[in-house]
Structure formats: structure tokens, C-alpha cells
């Protein structure tokens, strides 16, 4: 079983690491939006825990682990404190948000897919929930920050696709009984790399074929 790949302490450490990097991205966006410290904490918590809470509710893992493990709740607050005192210069915040977000995307899509499969979902459903785990918190973060979620914007680099790639790799590994600690880490690294490459080279999903509208997306 995927849950047996790691010892409980290692599994917990990986999940906390994913929570931390997502929380960093949420807190950094709050700084860019000129939110106060409470707003920073809210965005950090929502970004870090939103996708996982959604996944747990869908698969019936209730109450969600975010509400039963104090470390899950406190980690975003630690990230908020770090960003509050040590946030990068304003001109570097956008790039920093993207890098931390990509790291969380890779970690969470793999962890979400594995947990969904552990709860008896098929491979396709597990991939879907793996993606939702990875992008759900970011969607909530953007909505609270009064931005159109990156997931939905045609003028933004690929966001959901890297998560789908990572989750799909996990599903294939499960299908061929080849999922190990090393291969699951590789799947997370691939998702992270695809997201960074999309940011670096401006990869975007195509819009409607023969689209005639001249409407543009607000930035």
C-alpha cells in the first residue's frame, strides 16, 4: 500500500514540508497584496490546508487531518512569522511565490493521489483528487486575494497540468506495482520541474479553436 512507503514520522514530515511551502506562497502573496499580519495568516492557512481538507471530505477521512493534528495548523503560522520578518524585496516576491507554489504543487499532488488510493478510490479518481489536493489551496488563496485563480487564466503559465502529470505518474506506478519512496519522490520532482519550466518558458494551455473574440484577460 502507498501509505506503507514511509514510516509514520517520515510521512508526517513530508506532509508538513508541503504545508510549509504552500503556506509560504500564501503569506508572500499577502505581502504583495499589502495585507496585514492577520491577512497573511489567513492566506497561509487556506493555501496550505484548503486542498487537503477538500480531499479528506471527499474520501470520508473525517474529521480532516488539518483539524486533528496541531502541527498542521501551527506550521502555516510559523511560515507567516518567517515571511512577516524576512520577506524578500518587493520586486522579488512574485518569483518567490511561484517557486514555493511549484514545490508545494509537486509534493501535494503525489501525497493526495496516494491517500485517495489508500481509501479505495480507483486510479482515475485518485489522480483527480491528487490534482485537487495540489491546486485547491491555491484557488482559495487567489479568490481571497481578489484574483482570478491561476488555474482558470489563459494568460498564466500551466498550473493544473503539472499536478496532473505528477498524479498520473503516481497512478501509473500504482498500476504497475512500482510505487516506492524513490519513485514517488521522482513523481513530485517531475511535477515541480514541469511547473518551473512552464513559468520559465511561458507554457500555456490552448484556447478554443478558431477563437474570434478580441476580449483580453485583466491582469
Residues 6+ apart with CB under 8 A from 10: none
Confidence of residue 148 (pLDDT cuts 50, 70, 90): confident
DSSP 67: G
Cβ proximity of 126 and 167 under 8 Å: yes
The string of pLDDT tens digits covering residues 160-184 is 999 999 999 999 999 999 999 899 9
Least confident of 69-83, 100-114, 132-146: 100-114
Cβ proximity of 105 and 191 under 8 Å: yes
Q: Which segments of the chain does DSSP mark as H helices, in order? A: 8-32, 37-59, 70-86, 90-118, 123-144, 160-175, 181-201
Average pLDDT over residues 102-131: 92
The string of pLDDT tens digits covering residues 82-94 is 888 887 654 466 6
% of the chain at pLDDT higher than 70: 88
Average pLDDT over residues 122-132: 95
pLDDT value for 49: 95
Cβ proximity of 74 and 62 under 8 Å: no
Cβ proximity of 115 and 59 under 8 Å: yes
pLDDT value for 17: 83
| CA neighbor of 30 nearest in space, from 83, 70, 68 | 83
Average pLDDT over residues 85-108: 74
Confidence of residue 122 (pLDDT cuts 50, 70, 90): very high
Higher pLDDT pick, 79 / 91: 79
Average pLDDT score over the chain:
86
Average pLDDT over residues 182-211: 89
| CA neighbor of 129 nearest in space, from 151, 108, 113 | 113
Average pLDDT over residues 110-119: 93
How many beta carbons lie within 10 A of that of residue 69, not counting itself?
15
Residue identified by cell 490534482 is 131
Measured distance CA(25)–CA(32) in Å, rounded: 11
How many beta carbons lie within 10 A of that of residue 203, not counting itself?
14
pLDDT value for 29: 87
Amino acid at each position: 500500500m502507498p501509505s506503507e512507503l514511509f514510516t509514520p514520522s517520515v510521512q508526517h514530515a513530508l506532509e508538513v514540508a508541503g504545508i510549509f511551502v504552500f503556506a509560504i506562497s500564501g503569506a508572500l502573496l499577502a505581502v504583495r497584496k499589502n495585507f496585514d499580519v492577520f491577512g497573511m495568516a489567513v492566506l497561509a492557512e487556506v493555501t496550505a490546508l484548503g486542498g487537503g481538507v477538500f480531499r479528506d471530505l471527499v474520501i470520508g477521512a473525517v474529521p480532516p487531518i488539518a483539524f486533528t493534528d496541531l502541527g498542521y495548523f501551527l506550521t502555516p503560522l510559523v511560515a507567516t512569522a518567517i515571511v512577516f520578518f524576512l520577506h524578500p524585496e518587493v520586486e522579488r516576491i512574485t518569483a518567490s511565490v511561484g517557486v514555493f507554489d511549484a514545490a508545494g504543487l509537486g509534493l501535494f499532488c503525489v501525497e493526495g493521489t496516494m491517500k485517495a488510493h489508500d481509501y479505495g478510490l480507483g486510479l482515475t479518481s485518485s489522480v483527480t483528487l491528487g490534482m485537487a489536493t495540489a491546486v485547491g489551496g491555491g484557488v482559495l488563496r487567489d479568490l481571497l486575494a481578489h484574483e482570478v485563480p491561476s488555474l482558470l487564466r489563459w494568460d498564466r503559465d500551466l498550473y493544473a497540468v503539472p499536478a496532473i502529470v505528477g498524479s498520473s505518474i503516481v497512478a501509473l506506478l500504482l498500476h504497475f506495482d512500482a510505487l516506492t519512496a524513490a519513485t514517488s519522490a521522482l513523481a513530485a520532482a517531475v511535477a515541480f520541474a514541469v511547473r518551473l519550466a512552464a513559468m520559465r518558458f511561458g507554457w500555456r494551455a490552448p484556447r478554443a479553436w478558431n477563437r474570434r473574440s478580441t476580449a483580453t484577460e485583466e491582469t
